[in-house]
């Protein structure tokens, strides 16, 4: 098979009913949900399959819920003997990528994202935050606007998703100021439905505690390559990977650079594993029209069967 990358979504990909067909079909899917519910003490299967969306999208619930579905979809494709040459995940999804690459167990993946969600929720209740997607400007222009208003409050780049889609994060007033500057340059500024200023200094109060919690988890040397959000590069040292994951909380997600790295690595098959199609949409905006690749989604049994027939 051609060089393959698995990539995993994070917050924003959720939908009511996600993972239900796998849960109904496979014992291992039910076992994974049981394990997730034992760790979190949350009825994740009910939230994923029936909602309500308001409860599902609470960060403390959403992080383990999306991760459980990611891991179920991953387990389904692994049962078919499929593995990736390289894995990546967008923000929260990076933990699923760590599991796919053999760095951490599925159980520890769920433990980590649950703790991460708790800490992020805690910090978001202390510090009001906002996030906007700036569409139509390159990263250097957005960063210039961020720098211009930085001294007046907290604002920074959260995600560099595509060449011209950048998410900013910080205090509501400063985010609005950067957005206004962007709109004057004919860009669009789209407020995101989030409960905190993720990937900003406003949640730095979670970093030391999360770093301490990371030290309770055993990290293996990757069995398969993983590309990290904050470096857009590979790393083999387990201790350095732990450090990267602690810093990821307040650092920008360099998704665009990460995908360019995969192009340089000549990856030709891209498989989004987990709910939704958010990352597939980003990929289609990143890749040159003449780049030889195929993109698949494994978010349902039907789509998994299609993938298995075609590769």
The DSSP-derived string for 148-203 is HHGGGS-EEEEEEEETTEEEEEE-HHHHHHHHHHHHHTT-EEEE---SS-TTSGGG
Tell me, what CATH number does 171's domain have? 3.30.70.250
Q: What is the pLDDT of residue 152?
A: 78
Residue 174, in any domain of the structure: yes
Q: Are residues 208 and 246 in the same domain?
A: yes
Q: Are residues 137 and 120 in the same domain?
A: no
**Cβ atoms of residues 126 and 264 within 8 Å:** no
Number of domains in the chain: 2
Over the stretch 251-291, which tens digit does the pLDDT of each residue have?
A: 999 999 999 999 999 999 999 999 999 999 999 999 999 99
Which residues of the chain register pLDDT less than 50? none
Q: Which two tokens stand for residue 129?
A: 């935050």
Question: Of the residues 147, 172, 191, which one is the last residue of a structural domain?
Answer: 191
Q: Are residues 172 and 280 in the same domain?
A: no
Q: What is the pLDDT of residue 295?
A: 96
Q: Are residues 148 and 259 in the same domain?
A: no
Q: Are residues 152 and 249 in the same domain?
A: no
Question: Of the residues 165, 191, 217, which one is the last residue of a structural domain?
Answer: 191
Q: What is the pLDDT of residue 150?
A: 82
Q: How many residues does the chain have?
A: 311
Residue 249, in any domain of the structure: yes
List active site positions: 91, 199
Q: Are residues 17 and 120 in the same domain?
A: yes
Q: Pairing state of beta strands 4-8 and 86-89?
A: parallel
Q: Are residues 139 and 182 in the same domain?
A: yes
Q: Are residues 42 and 104 in the same domain?
A: yes
pTM: 0.97
Tokens 């959260």, residue located: 158
Q: Are residues 118 and 142 in the same domain?
A: no
Tell me, what CATH number does 65's domain have? 3.40.366.10
Q: Are residues 135 and 82 in the same domain?
A: no
Q: What is the pLDDT of residue 153?
A: 87
Q: What is the pLDDT of residue 253?
A: 98
Sheet arrangement for strand 188-191: 155-162, 165-170, 130-135, 188-191
Q: Are residues 213 and 114 in the same domain?
A: yes
Question: Of the residues 137, 164, 191, which one is the last residue of a structural domain?
Answer: 191
Residue 196, in any domain of the structure: no
Residue 301, in any domain of the structure: yes
Alpha carbon 110 to chain centroid, angstroms: 14
**How many distinct helices (H) and strands (E) make up the chain?**
14, 9
* Domain enclosing residue 138, as ranges: 128-191
Q: Are residues 117 and 68 in the same domain?
A: yes
């Amino acid at each position: 098979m051609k060089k393959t990358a698995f990539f995993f979504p994070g917050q924003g990909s959720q939908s009511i009913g996600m993972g239900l067909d796998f849960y109904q079909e496979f014992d291992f899917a039910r076992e994974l949900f049981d394990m997730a519910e034992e760790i979190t003490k949350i009825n994740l299967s009910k939230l994923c399959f029936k909602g309500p969306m308001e409860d599902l999208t609470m960060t403390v619930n959403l992080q383990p819920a999306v991760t459980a579905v990611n891991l179920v979809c991953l387990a389904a494709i692994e049962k078919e003997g499929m593995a990736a040459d390289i894995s990546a995940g967008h923000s929260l999804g990076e933990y699923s990528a760590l599991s796919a690459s053999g760095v951490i167990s599925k159980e520890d993946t769920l433990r980590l994202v649950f703790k991460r969600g708790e800490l992020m929720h805690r910090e978001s209740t202390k510090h009001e935050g906002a996030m906007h997607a700036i569409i139509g400007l390159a990263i250097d222009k957005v960063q210039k606007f961020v720098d211009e208003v930085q001294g007046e409050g907290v604002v920074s780049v959260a995600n560099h998703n595509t060449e011209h889609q950048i998410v900013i994060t910080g205090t509501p007033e400063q985010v609005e100021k950067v957005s206004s500057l962007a709109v004057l340059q004919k860009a669009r500024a789209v407020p995101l439905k989030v409960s905190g200023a993720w990937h900003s200094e406003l949640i730095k109060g979670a970093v030391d505690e999360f770093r301490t919690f990371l030290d309770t988890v055993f990290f293996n040397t990757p069995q398969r390559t993983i590309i990290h959000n904050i470096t857009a590069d590979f790393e083999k040292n387990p201790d350095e990977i732990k450090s990267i994951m602690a810093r990821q909380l307040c650092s920008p997600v360099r998704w665009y650079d990460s995908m360019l790295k995969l192009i340089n690595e000549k990856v030709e098959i891209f498989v989004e594993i987990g709910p939704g199609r958010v990352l597939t949409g980003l990929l289609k905006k990143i890749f040159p029209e003449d780049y030889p690749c195929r993109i698949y989604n494994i978010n349902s049994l039907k789509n998994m069967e299609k993938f298995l027939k075609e590769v």
